[in-house]
A and B are shown apart, each in its own frame.
Chain A
Amino acid sequence: MDAMLEATASRILADHRDAPDRAWSALEENGLTRLWVGEAQGGFGLPLGEGFGLIRLAGANAAPLPIAETLVASRLLSEAGLASPPGRMSLFIEGWQRGIPFGDRAEHVVRVRGRAILLHEGPAGGRLVAVGEDPMSDAGSLREKAIATGTIPHDDAPYLAALARAAQIGGALEATLDLTVGFAGDRIQFGRPLSKFQAIQHLLADMAAEVAAARAAVEAAVATAAQGTTLDQRAVAVAKFRAGLAAGIVCDHAHQIHGAIGYTEEYALARLTRRLWQWREDYGSEHYWASALGRAAPRGSVPLWSWIAG
């Protein structure tokens, strides 16, 4: 993403950390919620490879806003030749989600069924209990007639959504590592900071390795989009797998290092880890994507290596 856009987004998310409505208005005023919508339709018209920086930032800030959903939904609408309405949008891809994230506060919900795309008015009710911190509505509450319908000219919608989640995970993982490194440096036990204990240092090092692996896998998948207009589906599978795997390990270690304070509602850690636990389930967990890759991989007919390395 353009460095200036990224700086703007970063400032908005930091300035309005405790006022998500204001953060949303500022993002929208700056056009940041329509990065992938064509310029003629009031967006930035960014190529697919360039919008993921904002999604990563949203993840790092644990922003309680449907930024990823709105970006992906508006891109799918514009690919189907439909205009994106203003305001918050959510995304519901049938067969891939059990609920509608932020459904209770979305002005519109984009529903995807195969290649069909349907625009519904929000909000959607029926709050589901889920591991994540962000609200999720029951998909059954989306019964009213669609206000617009169209066709997406490809089958990439779940892949785009999965990569968006992987990018959010990547951002949140980095924030979790930063928070934990900071905490371990500040917290004194046995007369010295936790970070001076080798046992803690090794947990932090393992977290850093996971964060780096997730980031590399996500960036490689995003880079496949930068070369054209479509995503490499296998690269997306690798990215969502690796991000999901890293999320589990990083959350475990972060909670272990934080101790009881990290287990409270008030402290910042759970805002990251609860989202990480949710996002790793969304649009296929690491187990789903590993199974998909494993089913696609050759078994002895040709060397696996030629499938991996080309």
Chain B
Amino acid sequence: MSRFTFPITAETEEERSLRYRVRDFLARERESGGFEPVADCWISGVSPTFSRKLGEMGWIGMTWPKRYGGHELPALHRYVVTEELLVAGAPVGAHWIADRQSGVQILKYGTEAQMRAILPRIAAGECYICVGMSEPQAGSDLAAIATRATKSPAGWMLSGRKIWSTVAHISNYMIVLARTSPAEGTDRRVGLSQFLVDLSLPGIHISGINDLSGHAHFNEVVFDDVALPPSALLGAEGHGWAQCMGELAMERSGPERFLTTYLLLERTLAEMPDALPAEALGDLVARLSTLRIMSRAIARRLQDGESPDTEAALVKQLGTAFERHLFSVIRSAIGARPEPEAPAGLLRLRDEAQLRLPANTLRGGTSEILRGLIARQLGVR
């Protein structure tokens, strides 16, 4: 009996022509100096200018209702656009999280006023949102968060600290998971709520953290008795855990979980065409093709209003393992000869990829957490 559902959908003519339009746009941008391709572009490539251009093209908030600035297109259209952006290494980091998950959370749980105020700006590529889940003492053990929001006459008082928040330094909002009432006995998932926090409010301190390669893409954000209006509560009080899990499903299932290092493969083929043995190349193609089938299936299920949470965990698990495999295959192909025989640019890209590689199997839920989720679905936990 099959325990997981991955419906197969062939690419439509419409999707194909959209794919070509995105490709043309990206080629023009690249040629006109609009961007330099980078690996890990949805984290490391931050360009508000580029995000606004994508907004003008209608490629942000594609699936959202038109009255909130969206385009009411199928999720598979969005899937096609995200694939092309990732493969091109385009600088999509500024709006990526807002488009992928935060906007959708606001659409699901926000008030009419929040939707009208924020969603059109996200779709225009002008409003950026970061994730507020992890804390210094609560990483994989998310329910251990200590940030709390207490009711005040004016709304809520928020205090605590969030960490590893990618793009927080340029974001307008953070969706913060905070404790609003004590845990019930041992069930710590009770009493958590999500807040849509305007990062320009007084009492918020954002400081960058350099990753191991010296890039400051993630941050620590401190909330020092921040006064929030009542409308900052996102969704229902006490439903934060379930809302977070839904948000994580969106965070986990996309093609960025297997196309983050892809640029390295394309560049190796262009610059050292004979370096990869046929079997190694075909192996990568076949694994990647399967991941695309699975990831498309999830987009399709999201389109149908389903919540393929465990399937998303499976794709992230397989996808990030593929990223590592791809790197290791290419490293071995390049490294079969002394370093000076490889083009310097390719070596630089390989080294960059190495420095970014450890994050893939950590962010969005570690491989071990994902295995736990899958095991739960198998009924053994």
A residues with a Cβ closer than 8 A to B are 174, 177-178, 181, 184-185, 195-196, 198, 200-202, 204-206, 208-209, 212-213, 215-217, 219-220, 223-224, 227, 237-238, 241-242, 245, 286-287, 289-300, 303-305, 308-310
Contacts and interface: CB of A to CB of B under 8 A. Distances in A.
B36 interface: no
A185 B65 CA distance: 47
27 contacts: A178-B1, A184-B380, A198-B372, A201-B381, A202-B375, A205-B378, A208-B4, A212-B3, A213-B294, A216-B293, A217-B289, A219-B8, A220-B290, A224-B10, A227-B10, A242-B286, A242-B290, A287-B279, A290-B283, A291-B278, A293-B281, A293-B286, A295-B282, A300-B270, A304-B266, A305-B87, A305-B266
A175 B372 CA distance: 21
Contact of B6 (A177, A215, A290): A215
A196 to B, nearest CB: 8
Contacts of A213: 290-291, 294, 318
B236 interface: no
A185 to B, nearest CB: 6
Contacts of B4: 208, 212, 215
A16 B294 CA distance: 35
B6 A195 contact: no
Nearest to B376: A201
B19 interface: yes
Interface string B95-109: 000000000000000
Given A205-B375, A212-B6, A215-B2, A220 B293 contact: yes
A310 B279 contact: no
Given A174-B1, A202-B368, A216-B297, A294 B279 contact: yes
Interface of B: 1-4, 6, 8, 10-11, 16, 19, 83, 87, 262, 265-266, 269-271, 273-274, 276-283, 285-294, 297, 311, 314, 317-318, 368, 370-372, 374-375, 377-381
Contacts of A200: 380
B288 A241 contact: no
Contact of B286 (A201, A204, A241): A241
A217 B318 CA distance: 13
Nearest to B272: A300
Contact of B285 (A177, A217, A304): A304
Interface secondary structure of B, over-half rule: helix
A249 to B, nearest CB: 11
Given A204-B375, A216-B294, A216-B297, A209 B314 contact: yes
Contacts of B279: 287, 290-291, 294
Contacts of B266: 303-305
B374 A238 contact: no
Interface secondary structure of A, over-half rule: helix
Given A205-B374, A208-B378, A294 B285 contact: yes
Counting chain B CB atoms within 10 Å of each CB, which of A204, A213, A224 scores highest? A213
B269 A310 contact: no
Counting chain A CB atoms within 10 Å of each CB, which of B87, B278, B285 scores highest? B285
A202 B128 CA distance: 36
B286 A238 contact: yes
Given A177-B378, A294-B281, A299-B274, 12 more contacts: A195-B380, A205-B371, A208-B378, A217-B286, A241-B282, A291-B282, A292-B282, A296-B282, A297-B281, A300-B271, A305-B87, A305-B266
A241 B294 contact: no
B8 A216 contact: yes
Given A178-B1, A227-B10, A241-B282, A216 B374 contact: no
A223 B10 contact: yes
Contact of A220 (B1, B8, B282, B314): B8
Contacts of B287: 242, 245
Counting chain B CB atoms within 10 Å of each CB, which of A174, A245, A289, A291 scores highest? A291
